[in-house]
Chain A
């Protein structure tokens, strides 16, 4: 199975700050990587797919990058509504595997 190592586990950011979250795969996943945001008590929402493609309706301050085994999600200018948990998902091979998550809070 492909292991997804996500970091950091938690992050505190000021409004307007730019932050990054990383996911490292245990083998090449050929950009088959998605990022999700989950707000408290809600279901996850797709932000990024195919490593760097922005899902319709997602603000442009969110961006994804990476290739091979290393991927990152960047939020350019933290907003209050960006608080929540973030997860990566590899879709290169079954079983699909998620990263362990990053809790993002406002400082």
Chain B
């Protein structure tokens, strides 16, 4: 069974940093592109980052480019999101998601972890 379990969320002050982790199991992690997607309270979904199988290619929207870094450790079947210079608008539930092998669609999602940026 595919499982994605996020951790590392919490309350953080504006301008500070936080690192999210996602532990993957039930599939060959190194074969899949992975992503982070977020959802602000009562709002829609926003794609945050994608990383290639080896980690050599990463993609971000302008809203987080230069502040967030996605990375992975295939030996540990783990995905990470380093978030720096956090802003109040980064407050959201962050989901770890697996991209499908055949399309860009994300076919499995974790349960999400809440990040609150507030003083």
- Chain A positions within 8 Å of B, measured between CB atoms, are 1, 32, 34, 36, 43-46, 49-50, 55, 87, 89, 91-92, 94-101
Stretch in B9-17, B72-80, B83-91, B105-113 touching the partner: B105-113
Indicate the size class of the contact surface on chain B. 20 to 34
**Contact: B103 with A94, CB < 8 Å?**
no
Cβ-defined contact, A100 with B44, below 8 A: yes
A-B pairs with beta carbons under 8 A, tally = 62
Q: Which of B45, B107, B108 has a CB less than 8 Å from the CB of A98?
A: B45
- B114 to nearest A CB, angstroms? 12
Q: Is the CB of B47 within 8 A of A95?
A: yes
Question: With A49-B103, A96-B50, A98-B45 in contact, do A43 and B61 touch (Cβ < 8 Å)?
Answer: no
Secondary structure at chain A's binding surface: helix, strand, loop or mixed? loop
Complex CA gap A60/B102 in Å reads 21
- Is B59 in contact with A94, judged by CB distance below 8 angstroms? yes
Q: Say yes or no: A43 contacts B50, CB within 8 Å.
A: no
Q: Give the Cβ gap from B17 to chain A, nearest Cβ, in Å.
A: 23
B residues with CB within 8 A of A: 35, 37, 44-47, 50, 59-62, 95, 100, 102-112
Contact of A49 among B46, B47, B100, B111 (CB under 8 A): B100
23 residue pairs of the A-B complex, CB under 8 angstroms, read A1-B61, A34-B106, A43-B95, A43-B110, A43-B112, A44-B37, A46-B108, A49-B105, A55-B107, A87-B44, A89-B47, A89-B105, A89-B106, A91-B104, A92-B104, A94-B50, A96-B35, A96-B47, A98-B46, A98-B47, A99-B44, A100-B44, A101-B44
Given contacts A94-B50, A95-B47, A100-B44, contact A46 B59 (CB under 8 A): no
